[in-house]
Structure 1
């Protein structure tokens, strides 16, 4: 990566380049337009800093509703993508702004890079805090370059050699998890089939108009700009160990005891099972490098999706964390 030559211009907020995520703190209540003007002046420096740090936290800007968040994100990205082909429900709030997740508040979501099971993923995620949770509900972050370096060598070698085989079983309207109609935003099978063909997803129509999707993907990637290797997969999210025990037992009853018929499943690319102990070791390894910080109203975080993975902690109370995805 080229050295950072751009300089800060204009009145500086408090900046901590040694922190992860890189921290930029404006005076509390700074108007949105003032931040946008500062961003446009310092865009070159910020772009370089994002590649270096992987994530940038901005605090103090007066973002207290979805409209203001959308206005800010429009200044940060030029082209946004929808959540087509996502694993979990994610409700669209306005334009390119989505609720970050509607997964059960009582459970954690493990670390992952958004849509890393796909052949097409967002380059950046912008998370914003409209309403902080009563307790918990943080969005933990971890540097995927660090994860690659600290992953046990025997796990890294096997995952790189075998790749991963992700399976999603989507119902037609009745069942556990999302339907294929919600996942793809259509009830037209031909549209779904064309999307799958375009991004190399194997598909199979099953009984009762249910749909099985199979993605075979690498477990690691090389960043196209920095040339750095990153741990880039969602093996732990798709593995049966991800489900809480009571949920797993219910789903297995519905799937007649066949794990590949669960809403989500993962194996190695050759079809062999990934041992539960391996998944636990992966999660434990990643957790040693995770950074967790509480949300404050108005905070937003820009995440370089290949360089940094994110998750979500269980929470209580109201929580409105929103997200926009940059292509």
Structure 2
């Protein structure tokens, strides 16, 4: 039975306190017991629907919520939980990563080899993760508050941040025809734009603000300039919202091989390498990486929070995802 006391907030050692008194992320257990056998899935779904305003408020305050100890054991269960929140599903073209549909609104999180880490990035408005198989070691999904990153970078590299706010960033990726499952951003241009016609690919890229230059059968896709800093609507805070960590590949290179990525300021000037290298260190200093437990559901406000993936040290690991808006 879902009541006002259905959820119990708990503290984990990895959480970080925020200046406003919130903790990041919020962690909720069933109030009945830490043992999920005391709660049924239908109770969990009913509680989500009944307390959605409170959950949305908590998500806005904390940026992310980890649900632990609830009876979510399968992809279908996870899909039911996502549906209970009522967020519309988000479909998007131009995706860099390769995902496989599991059931309805549930997909694999990333088909790249699990021993490879994934840099911090944003995706949709809301992003759900579900741990079907917990890793024995490694494989965490680190998360970090974007406004904290902005504030730290503004403090340490004010000139670089001013450039980003004024110029934005332009991203370039060279991609082959077919998918490369060994890459964390391995979608080929055919699957990215859902066509094998180069002219159609150009048209669809243009609708996403990108331009394609063909190098044989490879597509050199340039996107931007795009804003690198955004204002979070609810709080009015400036947030670090860009794909710098994913696209930066060191000092400017003239290589044009499939899988190559690069990033530059919106005016075509190179980014400051020392500032980007410090930024990558700040991400690690400020992030939270809670080890996965089987049955965990992590809900992220992806407009407020960056996320990544730590390399898997000891399998198995199976994390599923659902993207919403």
- Distance in 2 (CA, whole Å) between partners of 1:15 and 1:288 is 25
1:167 to 165, 168, 172: 172
* 1:234-249 equivalence runs, <5 A: 234-241=243-250
Q: Which residue of 1 aligns with 2:5?
A: 11
Q: Deviations over 1:246-269 (max 9, x none)?
A: xxxxxx8xxxx5268753211111
- Alpha-carbon displacement from aligned partner over 1:95-133 (angstroms, at most 9, x marks no partner): 22111112332232222112xxxxxxx210011111111
Deviations 1:135-191 (CA, angstroms, capped at 9, x unpaired): 110001101111111112233222222211101222123877321112233334454
Partners in 2 of 1:215 and 1:271 — Cα distance? 11
Indicate if the aligned counterparts of 1:150 and 1:285 stay in contact, CA closer than 8 A: yes
SS in 2 for 1:150: helix
The separation in 2 between residues aligned to 1:206 and 1:96, in whole angstroms, is 36
Query: Is 1:325 aligned to 2:323, yes or no?
Result: yes
The correspondence of residues 1-327 of structure 1 with structure 2, limited to 5 A, is: 9-16=3-10, 18-26=22-30, 27=33, 28-29=35-36, 30-82=39-91, 84-114=93-123, 122-151=124-153, 152=156, 153-173=158-178, 177-189=186-198, 191-208=200-217, 210-241=219-250, 258=255, 262-315=259-312, 316-327=314-325
Question: Which stretches in structure 1 are left out of the alignment for 5+ residues?
Answer: 1-7, 115-121, 243-251
CA distance in 2: counterparts of 1:136 and 1:64, whole angstroms: 21
* C-alpha distance in 2 between matches for 1:310 and 1:198: 26
* Shift, 1:213, TM fit: 3.5
The normalised TM-score by structure 2 is 0.84
Matches of 2:86 and 2:214, distance apart in 1: 37
Alpha-carbon distance in structure 2 between the residues aligned to 1:212 and 1:110 = 20
TM normalised by structure 1 equals 0.84
Q: Which residue of 2 aligns with 1:248?
A: none
- Cα distance in 2, alignment partners of residues 12 and 62 from structure 1: 14
8 Å CA contact 1:240–1:259 kept in 2: the answer is no
The number of equivalent residue pairs is: 300
Report Cα offsets for 1:202-228 as digits up to 9, x if no partner: 233442263524232111101233322
Partners of 2:57 and 2:303 lie apart in 1 by 15
- CA RMSD between the two structures: 2.4
Counterpart-to-counterpart distance in 1, 2:170 and 2:121: 16
Deviates more, 1:138-147 or 1:213-222: 213-222
3-state DSSP of counterpart to 2:110: coil
CA shift digits 1:21-61 (9 cap, x unpaired): 11111132232211111111111111111111111111111
Residues 291, 201 of structure 1: alpha-carbon distance in 2 compared, 3 angstrom cutoff: same
1:230-288 CA-partner distances (Å, limit 9, x unpaired):
0001112101139xxxxxxxxx8xxxx52687532111112222243222111112222
The unaligned stretches of length 5 or more in structure 2 are: 11-20
The answer as to whether partners of 1:167 and 1:265 remain within 8 angstroms in 2 is yes
